[in-house]
Copies of this chain bind each other. A is one copy, B any other.
Amino acid sequence: MPAARPRQAPVRTPKQGRSKATVAAILEAAARILAEQGWAGFNTNAVAARAGVSIGSLYEYFPDKQALADEIANAHIAQGEALLTAAAVEIADADSAGALVDALVQGLVDLHRDDPRLHRVLSSEVPLSASARARVEALRRGAILFLEQALAAHVDHPGVAAQLLVDTADAVIHRWFVEDDGTLASPERLTQELRRMLRAYLAAPLSSASHPTGSA
């Protein structure tokens, strides 16, 4: 990363149609390269070339490489927000703990099925900006808080339960659908079993269970 870093403000917000198309082409090319080659293969010259745009134009719209990555991350996060918002409607409508689990799991599966390669790269390789990280975290918290409301009627300590449900479903679905170590049981079969587990948890009576030695 050579030459100065005054960070003026070239980020001309695209207003005309032509600019919009250029920006879109750049973002598309950048997302494709990120998904296919990972962060290591992500370089501005390659992005510009793939977008069919000069490197100068790229810098006309993005002040630096990081800004480009941030924009892609933001767009991806926005999609996640939309999907989870949709799932929230389902969850709010759920008339049973089972339906609620199904809606949650389905929402997260949808979330991870959209461009899993890009998802993987964004979630592990790309150095996200603080604001992007905050936005992801806010989404998670929103989901947890929302679920907490829905769980209030079903369990005793809905806050912890909500976090357990969201984190568990998200983490394992991420692993099965995005990391894809392949082999062993199929993601679909595992997802089905995941739902069983989450339902069993919600249905379980309050154990006196902080004692690790307690029996099931």
Interface residues of A (CB under 8 A from B): 1, 5, 8-9, 38, 40-41, 43, 45-46, 49, 96-99, 101-102, 106, 124-125, 127, 137, 140-141, 144, 159-161, 163-164, 167-168, 171-172, 174-176, 181, 184-185, 189-190, 192-204, 207, 209-210, 212-216
Known: A168-B168, A201-B196. A49 touches B9 (CB 8 A): yes
Tell me which of B8, B140, B198, B200 contacts A203 (CB under 8 A): B200
Integer count of this chain's copies in the complex: 4
**Closest-CB distance, A13 to chain B (whole angstroms):** 14
List, sorted by A's number, 27 A–B pairs whose CB atoms are closer than 8 Å: A1-B40, A96-B216, A98-B213, A98-B216, A99-B213, A99-B215, A102-B213, A124-B125, A137-B181, A141-B184, A159-B185, A160-B189, A163-B190, A164-B172, A168-B172, A171-B175, A196-B201, A196-B209, A197-B197, A197-B201, A199-B207, A199-B216, A200-B203, A200-B204, A200-B216, A201-B201, A203-B216
Q: Are A209 and B195 in contact (CB under 8 A)?
A: yes
A sample of 16 more A-B contacts (CB under 8 A), given A9-B49, A98-B216, is: A8-B46, A8-B49, A164-B197, A168-B197, A171-B175, A192-B209, A192-B210, A192-B212, A197-B198, A197-B201, A199-B204, A200-B203, A200-B204, A201-B201, A203-B204, A203-B216
A7 nearest CB neighbor, chain B only: B46
- Residues on B with C-beta less than 8 A from A41 are 5
Tell me which of B9, B40, B160, B185 contacts A127 (CB under 8 A): B40
- Residues on B with C-beta less than 8 A from A172 are 164, 167-168, 171-172
